[in-house]
């Protein structure tokens, strides 16, 4: 992007009443969440699902 476009987008953001951010797993991963592997958090909160349904992680 060139500087003029960046400045234009920055100004539009400043003028906006709100900004909606759509994010995938990158933001949750950056926050420390790991939904794709069987880890301690999964074992702690989803132990019953693993035992009952064989679900081993939250990506299923």
Tens digit of pLDDT for each residue in 2-54? Answer: 999 999 999 999 999 999 887 666 777 777 776 666 677 777 887 887 788 88
pLDDT value for 15: 97
pLDDT value for 14: 96
Rounded-to-integer distance, Cα 25 and Cα 34, Å: 9
pLDDT value for 38: 66
pTM attached to this predicted model: 0.37
User: Radius of gyration of the chain from Cα atoms?
Assistant: 20
């Amino acid at each position: 992007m060139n500087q003029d476009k960046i400045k234009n987008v920055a100004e539009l953001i400043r003028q906006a009443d709100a900004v909606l951010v759509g994010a995938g797993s990158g933001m949750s991963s950056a926050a420390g969440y790991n939904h794709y592997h069987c880890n301690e958090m999964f074992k702690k909160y989803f132990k019953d699902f693993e035992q009952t349904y064989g679900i081993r992680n939250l990506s299923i």
